[in-house]
Structure 1
Amino acid sequence: MRRVNRNRPPHIRRKNKAEGIVDGLSEAADRPLGCSPAETVVLIQEALGSSPDIHIRKMANDTFVISYIDSLIDPQLLSELMGNLESMLEEGEEVRSTERFADSISAGSVKVASTGRDMLTGMLSGAAVVLVDGVEGARVVSISGGSRRSVEEPSSQTVIRGPKEGFTEDISTNLSLLRKRLRTPDLRFENRVIGTYTQTQVVVAYIRGIAQTSVVEEVLKRLDAIDTDSILESGYIEEFIQDRAFTPFPTILNTERPDTVAGSLLDGQVSILIDGTPFALICPVTFFKFFLSSEDYYQRYDISSFLRNIRLFSFLVAMLLPSLYIAVTTFHPEMLPTTMLISVAAQREGTPLPALLEGMLMEITFEVIREAGVRMPRVVGPAISIVGALVLGQAAVQAGLVSAVMVIIVSFTAIASFVIPTFAMSAAVRLIRFGLMFLAGTFGLYGILSGVIPLLMHLVSLQSFGVPYFLPVAPLNWSNIKDVFIRMPWPRMNKRPDFISLHNQVRQGSGPEEGQSEP
């Protein structure tokens, strides 16, 4: 029997075969570039075609030839580059050596492309290619630019107190946002290019001396093993490198907040930033990390601890409340107080559907309304959601199709699901809720237990890059409980989580004692 490496997910065991920016180039693209700009221009035209945004400009009787893609470069840097070349021609400066050429150019960094494939890679990354008559190779000058979205407040993870900056689709901007928050030489960026056709830039960020070397190497190994045509968003990377594919629970955290990534790096975690998306990935993570907000560390510890427990309670409500109602009203009505039982029975007297179908109908209706509100234009989306929910709910109760109690249950469940800070965990709860409702309508409370117990076993068995998913509860780790259900005051949080970082665990000094002040 063939042995399988179980330490790596099964969907990334193939070797990455993407070697060039353009798949299907002729063998001439891998040959060294000659001294004739005319031959190199022919290679560019054959590889990239006659696209209107590709420009080839000749200067001084073909002494210099500049080729670039107009939609990927900065016009101001291009103007500076052209001015430098014209000054060099007027002064008759010798530019055959790469060092002299780089010293004469102030527009951007200069690299030498020895093959056509390297040259095309530079052009498609936002660089201008300068060909010099009589000089082998091509000078690739970085003048990338083009249309970029400015730094704005994150739309999916808003806070009352804290930074209002969010990642953008430009990876260089995202790296600068991290550099601004972590002014340390130990901040490291490992660059990768993934995708045969998209050639997406992927950067792995970590802090040397805090992050575990084994975790960083495992992340890079999984990224190097990805063999795909395209990476258009961080969700592609997330599914390729996660430990287990068939699970409703996310094992990699995604965020568009630079302060969240910076805090995670300081805890010893690793972040993955992908060009073209504002959502960065963080790993390894535990189950309770998805209920934390960056705002928890900016407010007082008491209110932060209270809000954390509210989120965990909302998670249980969003997952179990409809199924508990269905189980009690269908199989265990004796568990209700007499007055409540009479009130519920009176409301359900004229309802034609059993509690299970009634709950399923209301939950599916709400999911349709929520999806319609997301897909509708932003101006009318919220109005459609609110009006649709009110009108449909009131009309369904008056028509006798559903009971008023079921409308209350479904509404409170939906509100509780919005309390969860991470959308991926909220989506997992929405899926699990339907399964528990079916079990409750079939077997009652025993059905709920038959679903919850395997669910807990599944959570305990999950891992995120070697870290148990349910830490620090299972296995129990008392030293890290202080930042899970409660958030201790900052002077008490002098150590990093030891299940994430085994190096440099001391974060800060013990600080002054209570009731004392610094001299």
Structure 2
Amino acid sequence: MERIHSKNGNHSGSNPLSSLKFTGDYQKDLELVRQELGQNSDVHIREFSFGQSAVHAAMIYVSGLSDHTLIDQHISQFLLLKDDQAELFSETDAVSVDELTNQFLSFRSGMETNDVKVWKPKVLAGYTALWIEGSAAVYLLDTVKKKTRNIEEPVSEALVRGPRVGFTESLDDNTALLRQHGENGDLLILQFRVGSRVKKELVIAYMKEIADPALVEEVKNRISTINLDYLAESGYVEQLIEDNFLSPFPQVQSTERPDRVISALLDGRVAILLDGSPFALIVPVTFSMLLQSPEDYYERWIPGTFIRFLRFFTAFASMLIPALYISFISFHQGLIPTKLVISIIESRQSVPFPSLLEALIMEISIEILREAGLRLPKPIGPAMGIVGGLIIGQAAVQAGIVSPIMVIVVAVTAISSFAIPSYNLGISLRIIRFLAMISAAIFGMYGLILFFLLLCSHLVRLESFGVPYVSPAVPYRLRDWKDLFFRFPLKMMKRRPGMLHTKDPVRKG
């Protein structure tokens, strides 16, 4: 097991616990325990006297975090009932934690220490500490009782066809889900500890015979530089390891689907999973990956290609349609067919605002409704979003605040954004939409074209863990276009993406 500790965790001079050691004097050590944890109402200290010589012992655990069944069946039973074993234990000068857990307690795992700095966080994480008179060490027994939910279908990545299994908040369950996809000795899972004050488990997963060693080493290095008190969710990790934090585009893919993670690992990518988060991170990522869905590969290649084309179209539509409307209405009316421009002019006669302000009113209203629908209870949220949009749009038209054509433009834009499978990419495109609208309102179509060129320039320069963000389009790799805009038949996709520099570039089969 590989572990990386945060640099802030070793300042012994500023930590009052660093100088506290257990002495072997049972009463003094127990008093030290009470001083350290006695004020916590959920911490329980139980004292025992066992054996013919009445050896004193005590155990401490946290209710709710420690498994009471394990404590009662193993530790308490040993201290209360097995006098012969207890007497044997009391006569032994030095018993290792392995002998204690295997010979006396038949316990699954444990450790021993005389350092309060080591002992206290373990107890508060769910371990049970056991003191026995005459011993200078405290035995820490793994009685952690993890709170987990059932494995359910991912909410944020629903599919018509595909596995109905998603990650949970338990890291053990998530790594097991990866293992359960099939027998594979190449899947390597490395464990780390992250967080300066509140430590959590984090793992990286990759195929050791496929992934580029340089990529794996880069992931390890970036994780080792994480210097934060607490990582509440994998989104923290994503923000701390991405290449360009100023870019609006996500450079790490998050997913709840184990099948998507396994597919990415077989391509030569690396996955990152954090305890307490149901979202795994995949690196490196490209722009086209964020517009793909696992369902593209579960259906035949012709409908898969068609649906993928639709996603690329809706991505650009959600970003540019309002800006195109503003540029045509404000600067380039001559490019609109005559009958259509007359109809638009008639519908806008009662509107007192310029096209930019009209578009901003509707777009901001839609964004507020979208956010409100997410925060409301599930039975109310979808209905409120739909009904609210209809009511506000109709009322705004009747009041002469916006034109009917603007309502159509905003509705098409909103529907297009719903077709984007990646939620964080959808947010990015919504932000870019407002910038495109402002550019079109100032310089018309010329401003929109200039903005688009600047956006393309930014995308070309952007990287994710050394991989160009818009590859295989730039740099040009025709061989990898079999899985870009098109989704070629599986029989024709024999090679892994060349941009990943995998150790084994050919897929088996």
- Which TM-score applies when normalising by structure 1? 0.90
Q: Is the 8 A contact 2:323 2:433 kept in 1?
A: yes
Alignment of 1:98 with 2:97, yes or no, is yes
Q: Is the 8 A contact 2:255 2:281 kept in 1?
A: yes
Give the whole-Å Cα distance in 2 for the aligned partners of 1:40 and 1:223: 37
Give the whole-Å Cα distance in 1 for the aligned partners of 2:344 and 2:459: 35
Aligned to 1:293, the other structure's residue is in SS state coil
Q: Tell me how far 1:113 sits from its aligned partner.
A: 2.8
Matched with 1:186 is: 186
Q: Is the 8 A contact 2:98 2:110 kept in 1?
A: no
Superimposed CA distance per residue, residues 432-451 of structure 1 (whole angstroms, 9 cap, x where no aligned partner): 00010011111110010111
Give the whole-Å Cα distance in 2 for the aligned partners of 1:42 and 1:479: 70
Q: Tell me how far 1:114 sits from its aligned partner.
A: 4.4
Q: Is the 8 A contact 1:16 1:224 kept in 2?
A: no
Amino acid at match of 1:368: I
Give the whole-Å Cα distance in 2 for the aligned partners of 1:448 and 1:357: 17
Q: Tell me how far 1:142 sits from its aligned partner.
A: 1.4
Q: Tell me how far 1:193 sits from its aligned partner.
A: 1.9
Give the whole-Å Cα distance in 1 for the aligned partners of 2:182 and 2:249: 30
Distance 1:93 1:173, change over 3 A: farther
Matched with 2:248 is: 248
Q: Which moved more, 1:76-85 or 1:287-296?
A: 76-85
For residues 369-408 of structure 1, the aligned pairs below 5 Å read 369-408=369-408
Percentage identity across paired residues of the two chains: 37
Amino acid at match of 1:507: R
Q: Tell me how far 1:97 sits from its aligned partner.
A: 3.2
Q: Is the 8 A contact 1:348 1:403 kept in 2?
A: yes
Q: Which moved more, 1:461-470 or 1:345-354?
A: 345-354
For residues 62-461 of structure 1, the aligned pairs below 5 Å read 63-82=56-75, 83-86=77-80, 88-91=82-85, 92-94=87-89, 96-104=95-103, 105-461=105-461
Give the whole-Å Cα distance in 1 for the aligned partners of 2:430 and 2:316: 12
**How many residue pairs get matched?**
493
Aligned to 1:67, the other structure's residue is in SS state strand
Q: Is the 8 A contact 1:43 1:116 kept in 2?
A: no
Q: Tell me how far 1:49 sits from its aligned partner.
A: 4.2
Aligned to 1:18, the other structure's residue is in SS state helix
Give the whole-Å Cα distance in 2 for the aligned partners of 1:63 and 1:396: 79
Distance 1:213 1:126, change over 3 A: farther
Q: Is the 8 A contact 2:197 2:230 kept in 1?
A: yes
Q: Is the 8 A contact 1:20 1:196 kept in 2?
A: no
Q: Tell me how far 1:173 sits from its aligned partner.
A: 1.5
Alignment of 1:55 with 2:48, yes or no, is no
Superimposed CA distance per residue, residues 109-153 of structure 1 (whole angstroms, 9 cap, x where no aligned partner): 122234222222322332222223323422222121143222111
Amino acid at match of 1:205: A
Matched with 2:30 is: 41
Distance 1:501 1:34, change over 3 A: farther
Amino acid at match of 1:502: T
Matched with 1:16 is: 7
Distance 1:49 1:448, change over 3 A: farther
Give the whole-Å Cα distance in 2 for the aligned partners of 1:39 and 1:266: 56
Aligned to 1:197, the other structure's residue is in SS state coil
Q: Tell me how far 1:86 sits from its aligned partner.
A: 4.5
Q: Tell me how far 1:223 sits from its aligned partner.
A: 1.5
Give the whole-Å Cα distance in 1 for the aligned partners of 2:55 and 2:185: 44
Give the whole-Å Cα distance in 2 for the aligned partners of 1:20 and 1:53: 29
Distance 1:190 1:38, change over 3 A: farther
Distance 1:318 1:62, change over 3 A: farther
Aligned to 2:498, the other structure's residue is in SS state coil
Alignment of 1:26 with 2:25, yes or no, is no
Q: Is the 8 A contact 2:58 2:130 kept in 1?
A: yes
Distance 1:185 1:102, change over 3 A: farther
- Which TM-score applies when normalising by structure 2? 0.92
Amino acid at match of 1:41: L
Please give the root-mean-square deviation of Cα atoms over the aligned residues, in Å: 2.1
Q: Which moved more, 1:294-303 or 1:451-460?
A: 294-303
Q: Is the 8 A contact 2:333 2:341 kept in 1?
A: yes
Aligned to 1:129, the other structure's residue is in SS state strand
Aligned to 1:369, the other structure's residue is in SS state helix
Give the whole-Å Cα distance in 1 for the aligned partners of 2:136 and 2:189: 32
Give the whole-Å Cα distance in 1 for the aligned partners of 2:334 and 2:360: 23
Q: Is the 8 A contact 2:18 2:116 kept in 1?
A: no
Amino acid at match of 1:141: L
Q: Tell me how far 1:479 sits from its aligned partner.
A: 1.6
Q: Is the 8 A contact 1:269 1:501 kept in 2?
A: no
Give the whole-Å Cα distance in 2 for the aligned partners of 1:224 and 1:49: 35
Give the whole-Å Cα distance in 2 for the aligned partners of 1:177 and 1:340: 56
Distance 1:55 1:452, change over 3 A: same
